[in-house]
Amino acid sequence: MKKTLFYGKISIQGRDVMKVRTRFAPSPTGFMHIGNLRTAIFEYLVAKKYNGDFLLRIEDTDQNRKVDGAIEFIYKTLELCGFQIDEGPFNEGDCGPYIQSERKDIYKKYALELVEKGEAYYCFCTESELEAMREHAAARKKPFLYDGRCSKLSKEKIAENLKNGVPYVIRQKMPKTGTTIVEDLIYGKIKIDNSILDDQILLKSDGFPTYNFANVVDDHLMGITHVIRGKEYLDQTAKYNLLYEAFGWEKPTYIHVAMVLGEDGNKLSKRNGDASFMDLYEEGYLPEAIVNYLVLLGWSPETNQEVYTMDELIKAFNENRISKSSSQYDVKKLKWFNAKYIKALDDEKYLEFIRPFLTHDVSDKSQEWADKLLLIYKDHLSYGKEIDEMVNIFFNDEINISAENKAFLESDANIPIVIDTYREELAKITDWTVENIAKVIDIVKEKTGVKGKILYMPMRIKISGVEHGPELPDEIYLIGKEKVIARLS
């Protein structure tokens, strides 16, 4: 049955039914900032909670920032995070194209419509004229606002300029008195004084639309019902609303979300070295863990549950519980989430995940040995790249014992007896297995009468140089009989 989309509704057999539609509209700059990803998560959950559609739209009106391959990169990121993209550049629906640079004719059509309505006007001011206005505003210590001089040009002068090919932009004609009301689901009603609104450019001289104009046109034509974006754009929403009113279009529901701050308390920024999603992914953070962590930055569930599957998030998500306050990115908490997700993997999936992060040469080892090595750290990892440092003790031909550990080995008269007993009993093993090694530990305990750290720590220090590690039988097994006996001697 054909569905005709308009204003976020679908018409089925002549009956209008609301259909929630959200969109994620990143710029193709090559990486997904975690603050942007958090917004995308909210947009996705709102759409799927109401059995609606989640769209991907590429906002590439700033061609200077465009990075080749970025659209594929964005798709990959969203798919890794478990998002189902209902419409986008690679799976178009009825509202395409979904890349703004391919929609220039659409924007021009609607910009000219506003000119015809008297809601916008041609501006032929040169850059030197605009710079003089900026300098005048700066001298008066006031923010620059275009003075609207071109809105007063006669029809004849406009026609002459167009005929002569004088470069122009199209500006929106803003009201200069009164207020514009912005209604937001999180922040309620916000009054914006119209006197501070600039006659913003809608269409640039190169034919590309500005960000604000393209968003309004696209959101309307694509039937977007809910617009979710950062709180920093809340004041700009007055301009959006005036455009909707000028066209006579229905406004979407706005949901502005507070910023995610970096660990230093400042706004997250790639330039400041803050991680992007792909940075985290390549470090060995699972996408599911990243999504789970980010959704709880600025949103609180109704229960104390912290770990969610995507289906559980969709069911539990309530957009009214999005916080007004900024949240702070905490890598320690992210590691906690990631460790939980790593532990929850079955062994086969865990090995598939962790093998690429092991850079030590295991070509002279069996697959069984390598898998055993990786598996004993499954419950100790917080991210993938951590594995290399953890397993160093199994790849060092020589060990270094610190002065502190040397002092410990000399601190109890039983320690040399324990070490000698281990060496003697381990040498007797003909079938070198974890089970047989565990039996030796019990024998040493029985023969020497020691327990606790005197039973375990001297052994660890002598064979690895450090006092902590995986389960002792596993550690002894993986280091190998020959090397262990040599180190105990």
Map 421-468 to HEC letters: HHHHHHHCCCCCCHHHHHHHHHHHHHHHCCCCHHHHHHHHHHHHCCCC
pLDDT value for 6: 41
Distance CA 215, CA 209 (A): 9
Q: Is the pLDDT of residue 302 over 90?
A: yes
Across residues 304-327, what is the average pLDDT? Answer: 95
pLDDT value for 17: 44
Q: Which fold has domain 355-488?
A: Arc Repressor Mutant, subunit A (1.10.10)
Provide the token pair at 56: 């991907």
pLDDT value for 5: 40
pLDDT value for 16: 52
Q: Is the pLDDT of residue 152 over 80?
A: yes
Residue 130 — left, alpha, or beta (φ > 0 → left; ψ -120 to 50 → alpha)?
alpha
Across residues 460-487, what is the average pLDDT? Answer: 92
Shortest CA distance to 60 belongs to which of 22, 25, 109? 25
DSSP letters for 180-194:
EEEEETTTEEEEEEG
Cβ atoms 82, 310 nearer than 8 A: yes
pLDDT value for 3: 35
Distance CA 120, CA 200 (A): 10
Distance CA 125, CA 166 (A): 10
Residue pointed to by tokens 């929630």: 20
Backbone angles phi, psi at 188, to 5 degrees: 75, -150
Provide the token pair at 381: 């990892």
Annotated catalytic residue 104: no
Distance CA 422, CA 437 (A): 10
Could you tell me the CATH superfamily of domain 277-348? Glutamyl-trna Synthetase; Domain 2 (1.10.1160.10)
Distance CA 29, CA 20 (A): 28
Residue 87, strand partner residues:
55
pLDDT value for 12: 33
Across residues 387-401, what is the average pLDDT? Answer: 89
Distance CA 449, CA 164 (A): 103
Instruction: For residue 218, name the pLDDT band (cuts at 50, 70, 90).
Output: very high
Q: Is the pLDDT of residue 7 over 50?
A: no
In this predicted model, which residue has the larger pLDDT, 189 or 31? 189
Cβ atoms 108, 203 nearer than 8 A: yes
Cβ atoms 253, 185 nearer than 8 A: yes
CATH 1.10.1160.10 location in the chain: 277-348
CATH 1.10.10.350 location in the chain: 355-488
Cβ atoms 212, 236 nearer than 8 A: yes
In this predicted model, which residue has the larger pLDDT, 5 or 124? 124
pLDDT value for 273: 56
CATH 3.40.50.620 location in the chain: 4-88+216-258
Across residues 221-241, what is the average pLDDT? Answer: 94
Average pLDDT of the chain, as a whole number: 91
pLDDT value for 272: 57
Q: Is the pLDDT of residue 274 over 70?
A: no
Cβ atoms 32, 77 nearer than 8 A: yes
pLDDT value for 129: 95
pLDDT in tens, 80-101: 999 999 999 999 999 999 999 9
Per DSSP bridges, beta strands 169-172 and 201-203 are antiparallel
Q: Is the pLDDT of residue 210 over 50?
A: yes
pLDDT value for 419: 94
Q: Which fold has domain 4-88+216-258?
A: Rossmann fold (3.40.50)
Shortest CA distance to 464 belongs to which of 483, 439, 489, 441? 483
Residue 227, strand partner residues:
254
In the set 66, 157, 270, 378, the catalytic residue is 270
Longest dimension (CA), the chain: 109
Shortest CA distance to 24 belongs to which of 75, 73, 96, 80? 75
Provide the token pair at 336: 């906690």
pLDDT in tens, 318-377: 999 999 999 999 999 999 999 999 999 999 999 999 999 999 999 999 999 999 999 999
Q: Is the pLDDT of residue 51 over 50?
A: yes
pLDDT in tens, 436-463: 999 999 999 999 999 999 999 999 999 9
User: Quick one: angle between helices 34-49 and 287-295, nearest 10?
Assistant: 80
Per cent of the chain over pLDDT 90 is 83
Residue 184, strand partner residues:
188, 254
Helix (H) or strand (E) holding 412: none
pLDDT value for 13: 36
Q: Which residues, other chains included, contact 16 with Cβ-Cβ below 8 Å and sequence gap of 6+? A: 9, 10
Q: Is the pLDDT of residue 237 over 80?
A: yes
**pTM for the structure as a whole:** 0.88
pLDDT in tens, 104-125: 999 999 999 999 999 999 999 9
**What CATH number was assigned to the domain covering residues 105-211?**
3.90.800.10
